[in-house]
Homo-oligomer: A and B are copies of this chain.
């Protein structure tokens, strides 16, 4: 019997169900016959499909390309096989899903917590910022941008590249920071940590397109990078406050200190990972290290979820990772 949920498909099974289209490429066999290479998905699972010209059903390539578009929901019938250790599917029949037939939320990968609860919790962290000008800037930037911020991905390809990944990553860092602040007491400044972590990646809403199915770097993102973009947002906010009221030199200084923490959250300049200033406070060093922890937990968990117990796989940027048996 045919499998109807893409998450369960295995080689040599038949499939008869819905999928989300992620990528479509037009190709040719060596004999010159055209075919389509279509990547479909459900949640984190990606499957590459072939639509050979004997399966076009009389349609031209141009017609097919109006059906198979990025983000389209389609119903497919086909047979799965194995190619280079991956499941691959040959499509024998296809049609667009009708409106209301399926719920797209069951197909999109998203953060494991609700947008509402995350927003509430981030706002609670912001309320803990006791340095007024940092509180004002962080709060205003969050409220003004939350519409995009709460849904954005955190990366094009790497860790947290899913819907609301940016908010979820930000919240995870705030939680780690809370514990470190609780543990180390006055050695770490809680207000600066919360302000810097809330804002550290906010520039990504401009650095990347606002499309959580297939985000790309924008031109502005490539000109400046997300660190300079968020520093610009902070600076514009500082200018606006100064238009309203007088701002003391101590206040300006702490805002620049905030920009330094954000500027250096990719580590020292010498590693070449894109910090825009050297870290010169404990909070700046911590921000970089906490960012690393959450990123790595996410990258490794994401890979091992599909691995067998006892298996070893390579993860780009991390090397081999072993999935131990459950204990």
Interface residues of A (CB under 8 A from B): 26-32, 35, 50, 52, 81-83, 90, 130-131, 172, 175-176, 179-180, 183-184, 187-189, 191-192, 219-220, 222-225, 227-228, 231-232, 235-236, 239, 250, 253-254, 256-257, 259-260, 263, 268-274, 276-282, 285-286, 289-290, 292-293, 296-297, 300-301, 304, 310, 312, 318-322, 324-325, 327
Residues of B within 8 A of A273 (CB): 269
- Interchain CB contact under 8 A, B175 and A183: yes
C-alpha spacing A270/B260, complex, angstroms: 20
Residues of B within 8 A of A29 (CB): 30-31
Besides A189-B324, A223-B259, A254-B327, 17 other CB < 8 A contacts?
A27-B83, A28-B81, A32-B50, A189-B327, A219-B310, A223-B280, A225-B276, A231-B232, A232-B232, A236-B236, A236-B239, A254-B324, A269-B272, A272-B272, A278-B319, A281-B322, A286-B297
Residues of B within 8 A of A176 (CB): 179-180, 183
**Residue in B closest to A88 when the chains form the complex, CB atoms:** B28
**Residue in B closest to A277 when the chains form the complex, CB atoms:** B225
C-alpha spacing A71/B188, complex, angstroms: 34
Closest 7 CB pairs of A and B: A179-B179, A276-B276, A270-B272, A223-B260, A223-B256, A29-B30, A282-B300
